[in-house]
C-alpha cells in the first residue's frame, strides 16, 4: 500500500534557495505584510475607536461556538440560501482552510525551515489531499467568475467589480501553480518558477484583503461569533446623551465591525420587500453606506449619518421583516442598524412625517395606535360577551390594537374566544389595554415606548396577569423581548402555539378538500421560529399548500416596522406583490396568523377582483373545526 | 325682571340661532323681552324683529358698528347696559358672541354662562361638560346683569307674529375710531382648487358600493343638495373615480365634520380612523353586517341607488 | 418676541366620567391627565413663531394654574420646546370661576410684560372658552379668537380667524395682544426623548396662588352635575327609501342638530 501511495503524484518543491532569493523573499514578505497591516490597522482602529455597545455581554458561549461551527466552518447559511454558488464558495473556503498548513510550509521552506516534506508519508498525503481541494476550488472559482461576469445576477450590483475579478484570478493562479507543480520534480527549474509564481500571487493577495470586501476573510468569523445574541435584537440606549444613531460618535464597535464585514453578496437585497417593490431602501446600501461613512469620517465625527450615503427616506421604508439579517452569511445585523438610524431621527425630532406624528400623538394622549376611543373596545367586549380577567383565570387574552378595534381583528378574536371556550380554557380580557408599543419601538421613539412599556408592565402586575395569549405576533414579540428592557414581562405565546397543543381536539372528522396556502408572518416565523404550529391547524382544515417563498423565506405583507400606520407607499405595494404570489399557488384559501397580515392582504385582495381566494385567520379555521365537533 | 336678548344678523336677516335665543329668553322670563340690534343701519332688521314677540326693540346704531369688532360691540353694549341695567342678558352662542361677550361680562364683574342647553327654575342654567358626556347646572351669585348664551338648536324658535306689538327705540353709543384696535378683512372661503376636507363641516363619503364611476353623480347630487364636500374611501380614489385629495382614511385625510354620510362604505379600519372625529355619522349600506353600522349614529340598511336619490329629493324639497 | 402660552391640564380624552361624592364634579381617582388639545396647538403656534423669527432672544414661556400634578404637563411643554415655565400652585381652582382664574393668570403675566399671549380656544373639561378673552380684558389688550395661524407683520400681527360654515377672515392687530387658538391650524410636533432630557434643565418657577390674587367669592357657581341619558346605540331608520330619507332629515335637524 505504501508503495502504491508513493506512486501517486507529489508536490514539487525546490530543495533550496539562494541567499539572494531569501533576501528577495523576505523583502517581498515585508512589503506585502506592511501593505496588509497599514490598511488593516486603519480598519481595526475605526472599529476599536467606535464606542462600546451598551448592554452587550459575551454570554451564551455555547450558542456562539455552535454558530461559528455551523455558519463559518460548515458554511451552512452560505449554501442553504444560494445552493450552487454557496457550495462553490464553500469549496473555496475549505480550500483556504486546508491550505493554511500548505502556505505556512511554502513560506517556511524559503528560509530552509520547511516542516512538511513531500517525500514523507504524511506530507505526501496532505499535499495530495490539498491537491483535491485545489481542484474543487479551481472549478468553483471558475464557476463563480462566470456567474459574476457572464451571468451577472442583479443582486451583485449594477457595476462589474474589478476587485472581484482580480481576486478570482489570483485564487485561480494560486490553485493552478499548486496543481501544476505536481507535474514536475523538485529539481526541475519549472518547480522553482512555479514556486515563485505561487509566492507572488500570495504576496499580492495579502495586501488586497483589507483593501477590498475580502476583509471578510479576517473579520467575519469574529462578526458571527460576536453577534448580539438574538435575532433582530434592539440594544438599549445608554445615558442621557444617547438618542440612537445620529452621527459617527454613535456608531458602536459591533456596527463598525459588521459594516466592514460586508461581502456585497446582495442576499439581503434579494429578499428585501422594499427592494422588490421599487423603493429607495436597499439594505446592502445601508451597510455599505455606513462603511463609506467610516472610511470618510471615522467614528469620532459629528457629521450626520444620514445625508451623505443614506437617506432618511430610505430608512423609513423598512418593514423590519428581518429577511436581510436572516440571510446574511457574515453575521451583519441589519434590523438594529435600521432601528438605530430611525431612533436618531425620531428621538431628536428630525423626522417630520404627518402620519408618523399622528401615530405618536395618538399614543401620547390615548391608549391605542388607531386613535379610537376606548368605548369602541368596551362595546366589542360587551357584544362578544368576552369574560373580564380578574386574576383568577389562567390566561389573559390580550386583544391588542387590531384585535380590539379593527373589524377583521375582532373577527379573529371572536373566533379564537370560541376555540378557547370549546377547549374549556380559563381566560379573560383586560378591561383596559394600552398599545404594547410595537410600532413606536420599530420607528425608534424611545420616549413613547418607555412610557407604554412601563405603564403596561405596572398594569399587568396589578391585574396579576401571569400568562398571556394573543392573536398578534407583534404583541408577542414586543411583550416578550422589548419590554424586558423595562421590567419582567409575563409569559406570552401566540394563539397558534396555544392551539397546536390541542390540535387533536380541534380536528374535524374529515379535513376537507379546499387548498389552503399559509402565509408565514415575519414576526412569527423569522422572529420567533414558529412554523409548524400554524401549519398543524391548517392541515386539519384542508390541503396545505406552500407559497414559493415560505418558512424563513416568507415575503412580508408590508405592515411591519410601523409602516401600517404611515399612509401611502411609493411604488408598487408590498402587499400586492405577496398576494400575487399567493394567488398564483392556485389555492382557494389563504390562511394568515397575524391581524396586520390579514388587513394588508385583505386590502390587496380587494383590488384583485371577484375571483380572489378567501382570506382567513387560523383561528377561524380552528373555530370551524371546533364547531363541527360540538 | 328685565331681560335683554342680543340679536345677530347675517346677510341682512336675523339668524335662526338669534330667534332661538329670543325664544329661550321669553320662556325663562315668562313674558316678552327686549331685543337689541347692533349695526350701522338697523332699520330693516328692526322691522324684521318687530315680528317677534318682543316688548321693546332697541337699535344700537353707530357707523363704527357697520362691521363687527370686539372693541366696538363691547363698548356699545357696555354703554347700553349701564344705562338700561337689565337683570339678564341672553345671547345666541355663536363665534361672534364667544369673541365679545366674555369681555363685556368682565366689565360688569360677571362671567358669561355659555352654551346653555336648558333653563331650570331658580334660575339655573344647564350646560355640557366633557364634550357632551356630562351636564352641569350653573347659578349666578354675583352682581347683575347675568349673562347667558344659548346653544344653537337647544330651543325652538317661535313662529313670527303677524301683528307687531313692540316699540322701537334707538341708542347711539359713543365710540371713537381709535377705540377699535383690530381690523378685519373680508370673509373668504378656502380656494376652490384645493379640497379642504379637513375643515369641511358636512361631508358625503362614497365607497365601493357605488359600483361604477358613472354612478358617482348620484352621490354628488346629494352632496350639492346638502352643501357638503364629496369624499371617498381608498378604492374609489385608487380606481381614479375621484381625485386622491378626496380620499379619507389612514392614508388620506382625517376629517371632523358635524355630519359624515357614509354611502356604500363598508367601514374598514383604514377608513374609520379618518372619520372618527365626526360629530354625527350616517351610514347607508346594503349589507346589514357592514362594520360601518357599529359606529354610525343613524343607519339605513338599503339600496343606495334608491335611498340616496330619495334623500336628495327630500332635502331639495325642504329647501323650498 | 416674548410669548406666554397659558395652558391647562385636563383629564385625558378617554377618561371614565363618574360623579364624585359631592355631586359637583367627577371622581378624580385614577384619572390620567393630559395637555388640553387646543392649548397644544397654541403652544405649537408659539414655537413656530419663535422658530420663524430667527431671533435668539425670543422666548416662549408656558404658564398654568393648578395643583402639583400640573407640573408634569408643564414639563411636557418644556420638552416640546418652551423655554421656561411658571406654575401657579393652587389647590382651590374649583372654587374660582373663570374671572377668578383669569385674575390669577393676569397677576402672574403682568410683571412679565409679554408681547403676545396665546391660549387655547376652550378646555376639554369645562369648555367655557372664555379664560383667554377675559384675560385680554383684564390686561387691557386687543384680542382675536378662534385663530388658526399667526404671522408677524411690521405693524403687529396678521391672523387667520375661523368663521362659521367654513369661512375664514384675516384680522390685523397691534402688539401686545392676546389670541385664543383653535385646534387644527398647524401640525403638532410629537414629544421627543431629546426634548424631555433637555427639559430637565429648564426653569419652572412655582408661584403660590394666594400670593398672586386672593380667592374671592365666585360670581358663577357650578351647583351640580348629572350624567345625561345618552343613547350611544345606532338608530336604524326603516321603511321605504322615501320614508327612511324623511326620517333621517328630521333626526339630523332636530335630534343631532347638524343640519
Q: What's the average model confidence in pLDDT over A121-129?
A: 88
d(CA A209, CA A162): 14
Up-side HSE of residue A110: CA atoms within 13 Å toward CB?
A: 21
CB B254 within 8 A of CB A358: yes
Q: How confident is the model at residue A6 (pLDDT cuts 50, 70, 90)?
A: low
Same domain assignment for residues C133 and C165: yes
Q: What's the average model confidence in pLDDT over A552-563?
A: 96
Same domain assignment for residues C64 and C175: yes
C196 touches chain A (CB under 8 A): yes
Give the model confidence (pLDDT) of C13-29 as tens digits: 878 889 999 999 999 98
Distance of CA C79 to the CA centre of its chain: 18
pLDDT, mean over chain B: 90
Minimum distance, in Å, between the CA of residue A562 and any CA atom of chain C: 16
Same domain assignment for residues C195 and C100: yes
Give the model confidence (pLDDT) of A363-421 as tens digits: 998 899 998 888 889 989 999 999 999 999 999 999 999 999 998 999 999 999 999 99
DSSP A185: -
Give the model confidence (pLDDT) of B196-255 as tens digits: 787 788 999 999 889 888 999 999 999 999 989 999 998 888 778 898 889 898 778 888
Q: How confident is the model at residue A510 (pLDDT cuts 50, 70, 90)?
A: low
- Residue C33 covered by a domain: yes
d(CA B253, CA B199): 11
C248 touches chain B (CB under 8 A): yes
- CB contacts < 8 A, A to C, total 54
Minimum distance, in Å, between the CA of residue A242 and any CA atom of chain C: 9
Q: What's the average model confidence in pLDDT over B12-30?
A: 90
- Residue C15 covered by a domain: yes
Q: Which residue has the higher pLDDT, A213 or A521?
A: A521
Question: C191 and A357 in contact by Cβ < 8 A?
Answer: no
Q: Which residue in the set B267, B269, B295 is minimally distant from A370, CB to CB?
A: B269
Give the model confidence (pLDDT) of C2-15 as tens digits: 999 999 999 988 78
* Chain B: residue whose CA lies nearest to C98: B111
d(CA A619, CA A537): 9
Distances (CA, A) of C44 to C82, C120, C188, C199: 9, 11, 6, 16
Same domain assignment for residues C150 and C259: no
d(CA A248, CA A259): 13
- Looking at residue C232, its pLDDT comes to 65
- Range from A262-266, C149-153, C161-165 carrying the lowest mean pLDDT: C161-165
- Looking at residue A450, its pLDDT comes to 96
Whether residue B320 is predicted with pLDDT greater than 80 in this model: the reply is no
Q: What's the average model confidence in pLDDT over B61-84?
A: 96
Whether residue B162 is predicted with pLDDT greater than 60 in this model: the reply is no
Question: A373 and B276 in contact by Cβ < 8 A?
Answer: yes
**CB < 8 Å to B250, chain A:** 355, 565, 567
- Residue C220 covered by a domain: no
Question: C194 and A346 in contact by Cβ < 8 A?
Answer: no
Look at the block and give the residue holding cell 422588490: A276
H or E stretch covering A315: helix A312-315
Q: What's the average model confidence in pLDDT over A102-107?
A: 91
Q: Which residue in the set C14, C191, C193 is minimally distant from A364, CB to CB?
A: C191
- Give the domain CATH number at C197: 3.40.50.620
Most confident of A208-212, A375-379, A603-607, B193-197: A208-212
Same domain assignment for residues C78 and C157: yes
Question: B259 and C252 in contact by Cβ < 8 A?
Answer: yes
C216 touches chain A (CB under 8 A): no
Same domain assignment for residues C239 and C197: no
Give the model confidence (pLDDT) of A422-461 as tens digits: 999 999 999 999 999 999 999 999 999 999 999 999 999 9
Q: All domains of chain A, ordered by start, with CATH?
A: 2-220 (1.20.950), 248-346 (1.10.1060.10), 367-500 (3.40.50), 506-629 (3.40.50)
B211 touches chain A (CB under 8 A): no
Same domain assignment for residues C146 and C19: yes
- Residue C218 covered by a domain: no
* Chain B: residue whose CA lies nearest to C256: B280
A238 touches chain C (CB under 8 A): no
Q: How confident is the model at residue A511 (pLDDT cuts 50, 70, 90)?
A: low
Whether residue B195 is predicted with pLDDT greater than 90 in this model: the reply is no
- Residue C113 covered by a domain: yes
Distance of CA A214 to the CA centre of its chain: 20
Same domain assignment for residues C176 and C258: no
Same domain assignment for residues C235 and C127: no
pLDDT, mean over chain A: 92
* Chain A: residue whose CA lies nearest to C189: A357
Q: What's the average model confidence in pLDDT over A24-34?
A: 95
Same domain assignment for residues C152 and C251: no
- Looking at residue A630, its pLDDT comes to 66
Q: How confident is the model at residue A548 (pLDDT cuts 50, 70, 90)?
A: very high
Whether residue A124 is predicted with pLDDT greater than 90 in this model: the reply is no
Query: Which of B234, B273, B276, B293 to probe the A interface (max A CBs under 10 A)?
Result: B273
- Residue C222 covered by a domain: no
Q: How confident is the model at residue A253 (pLDDT cuts 50, 70, 90)?
A: very high
Q: How confident is the model at residue B272 (pLDDT cuts 50, 70, 90)?
A: confident
B-proximal residues of A, 368-387, CB under 8 Å: 370-373, 376, 379
- CB contacts < 8 A, A to B, total 42
Q: Which residue in the set C12, C190, C195 is minimally distant from A360, CB to CB?
A: C190
- Looking at residue A184, its pLDDT comes to 87
Question: A355 and B291 in contact by Cβ < 8 A?
Answer: no
Same domain assignment for residues C168 and C238: no
Q: All domains of chain B, ordered by start, with CATH?
A: 3-179 (3.40.50.620), 197-319 (3.40.50.1220)
Q: Which residue in the set A357, A373, A375 is minimally distant from C190, CB to CB?
A: A357
- Looking at residue C230, its pLDDT comes to 60
d(CA A486, CA A450): 7
Query: Which of A410, A472, A568 to probe the B interface (max B CBs under 10 A)?
Result: A568
**CB < 8 Å to A402, chain B:** 269
A349 touches chain C (CB under 8 A): yes
Chains in touch with B (≥3 Cβ pairs < 8 A) = A, C
Three cell numbers, residue B104? 363685556
Helix H, strand E, coil C: the string for chain C is CEEEEECCEEECCCCCCCECCCCCCECCCCCCEEECHHHHHHHHHHHHHHHHHCCCCCEEEEEEEECCCHHHHHHHHHHHCCCEEEEEECCCHHHCCHHHHHHHHHHHHHHHCCCEEEEECCCCCCCCCCHHHHHHHHHCCCEEEEEEEEEECCCCEEEEEECCCCEEEEEEECCCEEEEECCCCCCCCCCCHHHHHHHCCCCEEEEEHHHHCCCCCCCEEEEEEECCCCCCCCEECCCCHHHHHHHHHHHHHHHCCCC
Whether residue C103 is predicted with pLDDT greater than 60 in this model: the reply is yes
- Range from A186-200, A259-273, A471-485, B300-314 carrying the lowest mean pLDDT: A186-200
Same domain assignment for residues C141 and C247: no
Q: Which residue in the set C13, C14, C189 is minimally distant from A349, CB to CB?
A: C189
Question: A357 and C193 in contact by Cβ < 8 A?
Answer: no
**CB < 8 Å to B294, chain A:** 376, 379, 407
Q: Domain total for chain C? A: 2
Q: What's the average model confidence in pLDDT over B134-152?
A: 93
**What is the extent of the structural domain holding C248?**
228-259
Question: B106 and C169 in contact by Cβ < 8 A?
Answer: no
Question: C13 and A243 in contact by Cβ < 8 A?
Answer: no
- Residue C243 covered by a domain: yes
- Residue C76 covered by a domain: yes
pTM (two decimals): 0.89
d(CA A265, CA A82): 11
- Looking at residue A425, its pLDDT comes to 95
By CB atoms closer than 10 A (0-12, 13-18, 19+), residue B198 is middle
Give the model confidence (pLDDT) of A54-74 as tens digits: 989 898 899 999 999 999 999
Chains in touch with C (≥3 Cβ pairs < 8 A) = A, B
Amino acid at each position: 500500500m505504501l508503495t502504491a501511495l508513493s506512486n501517486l503524484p507529489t508536490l514539487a518543491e525546490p530543495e533550496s534557495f539562494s541567499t539572494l532569493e531569501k533576501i528577495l523573499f523576505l523583502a517581498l514578505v515585508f512589503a506585502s505584510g506592511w501593505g496588509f497591516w497599514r490598511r488593516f490597522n486603519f480598519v481595526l482602529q475605526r472599529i476599536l475607536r467606535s464606542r462600546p455597545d451598551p448592554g452587550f455581554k459575551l454570554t451564551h458561549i455555547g450558542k456562539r461556538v455552535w454558530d461559528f461551527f455551523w455558519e463559518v466552518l460548515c458554511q451552512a447559511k452560505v449554501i442553504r440560501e444560494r445552493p450552487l454558488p454557496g457550495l462553490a464558495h464553500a469549496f473555496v473556503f475549505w480550500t483556504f482552510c486546508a491550505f493554511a498548513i500548505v502556505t505556512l510550509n511554502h513560506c517556511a521552506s524559503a528560509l530552509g525551515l520547511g516542516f512538511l516534506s513531500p517525500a514523507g508519508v504524511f506530507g505526501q498525503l496532505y499535499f495530495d489531499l490539498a491537491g483535491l481541494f485545489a481542484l474543487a476550488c479551481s472549478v468553483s472559482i471558475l464557476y463563480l467568475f462566470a456567474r459574476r461576469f457572464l451571468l451577472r445576477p442583479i443582486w451583485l450590483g449594477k457595476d462589474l467589480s474589478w476587485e472581484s475579478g482580480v481576486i478570482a484570478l489570483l485564487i485561480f493562479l494560486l490553485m493552478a501553480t499548486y496543481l501544476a507543480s505536481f507535474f514536475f520534480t523538485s529539481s526541475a527549474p519549472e518547480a522553482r518558477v512555479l514556486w515563485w509564481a505561487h509566492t507572488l500571487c500570495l504576496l499580492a493577495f495579502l495586501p488586497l484583503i483589507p483593501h477590498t470586501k475580502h476583509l471578510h476573510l479576517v473579520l467575519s468569523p469574529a462578526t458571527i461569533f460576536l453577534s448580539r445574541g438574538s435575532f433582530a435584537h434592539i440594544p438599549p440606549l445608554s445615558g442621557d446623551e444617547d438618542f440612537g444613531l445620529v452621527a459617527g460618535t454613535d456608531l458602536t464597535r459591533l456596527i463598525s465591525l459588521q459594516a466592514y464585514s460586508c461581502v456585497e453578496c446582495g442576499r439581503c437585497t434579494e429578499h428585501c420587500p422594499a427592494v422588490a417593490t421599487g423603493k429607495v431602501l436597499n439594505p446592502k446600501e445601508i451597510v455599505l453606506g455606513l462603511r463609506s461613512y467610516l472610511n470618510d469620517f471615522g467614528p469620532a465625527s459629528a457629521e450626520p449619518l444620514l445625508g451623505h450615503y443614506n437617506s432618511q427616506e430610505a430608512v423609513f421604508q423598512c418593514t423590519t421583516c428581518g429577511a436581510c439579517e436572516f440571510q446574511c452569511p457574515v453575521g451583519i445585523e441589519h434590523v438594529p442598524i435600521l432601528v438605530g438610524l430611525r431612533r436618531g431621527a425620531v428621538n431628536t425630532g428630525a423626522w417630520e412625517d404627518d402620519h408618523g406624528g399622528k401615530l405618536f400623538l395618538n399614543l401620547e394622549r390615548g391608549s391605542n395606535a388607531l386613535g379610537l376611543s376606548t368605548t369602541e373596545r368596551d362595546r366589542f367586549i360587551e357584544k362578544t360577551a368576552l369574560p373580564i380577567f380578574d386574576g383568577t383565570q389562567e390566561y389573559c387574552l390580550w386583544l391588542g390594537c387590531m384585535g380590539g378595534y379593527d373589524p377583521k381583528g375582532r373577527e379573529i378574536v371572536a373566533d379564537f374566544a370560541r376555540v378557547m371556550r370549546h377547549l374549556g380554557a380559563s381566560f379573560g380580557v383586560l378591561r383596559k389595554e394600552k398599545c404594547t408599543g410595537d410600532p413606536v419601538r420599530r420607528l425608534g421613539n424611545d420616549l413613547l415606548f418607555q412610557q407604554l412599556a412601563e405603564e403596561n408592565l405596572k398594569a399587568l402586575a396589578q391585574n396579576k396577569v401571569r400568562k398571556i395569549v394573543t392573536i398578534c405576533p407583534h404583541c408577542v414579540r414586543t411583550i416578550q423581548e422589548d419590554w424586558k428592557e423595562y421590567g419582567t414581562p409575563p409569559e406570552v405565546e401566540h394563539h397558534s402555539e396555544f392551539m397546536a397543543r390541542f390540535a387533536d381536539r380541534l380536528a374535524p372528522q374529515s379535513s376537507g378538500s379546499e387548498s389552503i396556502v399559509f402565509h408565514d408572518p415575519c414576526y412569527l416565523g423569522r422572529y420567533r421560529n414558529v412554523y409548524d404550529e400554524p401549519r398543524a391547524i391548517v392541515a386539519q382544515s384542508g390541503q396545505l399548500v406552500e407559497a414559493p417563498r415560505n418558512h424563513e423565506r416568507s415575503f412580508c405583507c408590508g405592515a411591519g416596522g410601523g409602516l401600517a400606520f404611515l399612509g401611502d407607499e411609493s411604488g408598487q405595494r408590498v402587499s400586492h406583490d405577496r398576494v400575487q404570489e399567493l394567488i398564483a399557488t392556485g389555492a382557494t384559501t389563504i390562511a394568515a396568523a397575524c391581524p396586520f397580515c390579514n388587513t394588508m392582504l385583505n386590502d390587496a385582495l380587494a383590488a384583485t377582483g371577484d375571483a380572489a381566494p378567501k382570506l382567513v385567520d387560523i383561528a377561524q379555521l380552528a373555530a370551524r373545526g371546533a364547531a363541527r365537533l360540538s | 325682571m328685565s331681560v335683554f336678548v342680543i340679536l345677530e344678523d347675517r346677510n341682512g336677516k336675523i339668524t335662526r340661532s338669534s330667534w332661538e335665543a329670543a325664544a329661550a329668553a321669553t320662556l325663562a322670563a315668562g313674558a316678552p323681552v327686549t331685543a337689541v340690534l347692533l349695526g350701522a343701519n338697523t332699520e330693516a332688521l328692526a322691522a324684521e324683529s318687530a315680528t317677534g314677540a318682543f316688548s321693546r326693540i332697541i337699535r344700537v346704531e353707530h357707523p363704527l358698528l357697520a362691521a363687527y369688532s370686539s372693541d366696538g360691540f363691547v363698548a356699545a353694549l357696555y354703554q347700553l347696559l349701564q344705562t338700561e341695567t337689565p337683570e339678564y342678558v341672553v345671547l345666541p352662542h355663536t363665534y361672534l358672541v364667544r369673541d365679545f361677550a366674555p369681555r363685556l361680562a368682565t366689565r360688569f364683574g360677571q362671567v358669561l354662562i355659555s352654551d346653555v342647553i336648558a333653563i331650570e327654575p331658580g334660575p339655573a342654567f344647564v350646560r355640557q361638560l366633557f364634550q357632551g358626556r356630562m351636564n352641569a347646572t350653573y347659578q349666578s351669585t354675583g352682581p347683575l346683569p347675568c349673562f347667558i348664551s344659548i346653544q344653537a338648536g337647544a330651543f325652538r324658535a317661535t313662529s313670527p307674529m303677524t301683528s307687531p306689538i313692540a316699540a322701537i327705540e334707538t341708542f347711539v353709543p359713543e365710540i371713537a375710531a381709535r377705540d377699535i384696535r383690530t381690523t378685519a378683512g373680508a370673509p373668504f372661503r378656502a380656494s376652490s382648487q384645493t379640497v379642504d376636507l379637513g375643515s369641511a363641516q358636512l361631508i358625503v363619503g362614497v365607497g365601493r358600493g357605488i359600483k361604477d364611476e358613472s354612478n358617482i353623480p348620484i352621490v354628488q347630487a346629494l352632496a350639492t343638495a346638502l352643501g357638503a364636500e364629496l369624499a371617498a374611501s381608498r378604492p374609489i380614489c385608487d380606481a381614479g373615480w375621484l381625485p386622491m385629495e378626496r380620499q379619507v382614511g389612514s392614508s388620506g385625510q382625517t376629517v371632523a365634520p358635524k355630519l359624515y354620510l357614509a354611502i356604500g362604505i363598508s367601514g374598514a379600519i383604514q377608513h374609520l380612523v379618518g372619520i372618527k372625529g365626526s360629530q354625527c355619522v350616517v351610514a347607508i349600506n346594503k349589507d346589514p353586517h357592514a362594520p360601518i353600522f357599529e359606529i354610525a349614529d343613524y343607519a339605513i340598511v338599503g339600496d343606495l341607488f334608491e335611498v340616496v336619490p330619495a334623500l336628495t329629493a327630500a332635502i331639495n324639497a325642504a329647501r323650498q | 418676541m416674548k410669548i406666554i402660552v397659558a395652558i391647562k391640564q385636563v383629564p385625558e380624552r378617554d377618561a371614565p366620567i363618574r360623579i364624585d361624592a359631592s355631586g359637583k364634579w367627577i371622581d378624580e381617582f385614577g384619572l390620567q391627565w393630559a395637555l388640553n388639545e387646543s392649548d397644544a396647538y397654541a403652544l405649537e403656534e408659539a414655537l413656530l413663531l419663535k422658530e420663524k423669527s430667527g431671533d435668539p432672544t425670543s422666548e416662549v414661556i408656558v404658564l398654568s394654574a393648578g395643583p402639583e400634578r400640573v407640573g408634569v404637563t408643564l414639563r411636557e411643554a418644556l420638552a416640546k420646546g418652551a423655554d421656561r415655565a411658571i406654575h401657579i400652585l393652587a389647590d382651590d381652582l374649583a372654587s374660582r370661576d373663570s374671572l377668578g382664574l383669569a385674575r390669577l393668570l393676569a397677576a402672574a403675566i403682568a410683571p412679565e410684560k409679554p408681547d403676545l399671549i396665546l391660549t387655547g380656544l376652550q378646555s376639554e373639561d369645562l369648555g367655557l372658552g372664555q379664560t383667554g378673552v377675559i384675560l385680554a380684558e383684564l390686561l387691557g389688550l386687543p384680542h382675536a379668537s378662534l385663530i388658526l395661524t399667526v404671522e408677524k407683520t411690521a405693524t403687529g400681527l396678521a391672523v387667520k380667524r375661523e368663521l362659521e360654515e367654513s369661512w375664514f377672515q384675516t384680522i390685523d392687530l397691534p402688539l401686545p395682544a392676546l389670541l385664543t387658538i383653535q385646534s387644527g391650524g398647524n401640525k403638532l410636533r410629537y414629544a421627543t426623548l431629546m426634548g424631555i432630557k433637555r427639559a430637565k434643565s429648564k426653569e419652572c418657577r412655582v408661584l403660590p396662588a394666594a400670593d398672586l390674587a386672593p380667592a374671592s367669592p365666585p360670581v358663577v357657581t357650578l351647583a351640580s352635575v348629572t350624567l345625561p341619558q345618552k343613547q350611544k346605540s345606532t338608530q336604524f331608520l326603516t321603511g321605504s327609501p322615501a320614508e327612511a330619507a324623511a326620517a333621517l332629515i328630521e333626526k339630523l335637524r332636530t335630534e343631532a342638530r347638524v343640519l
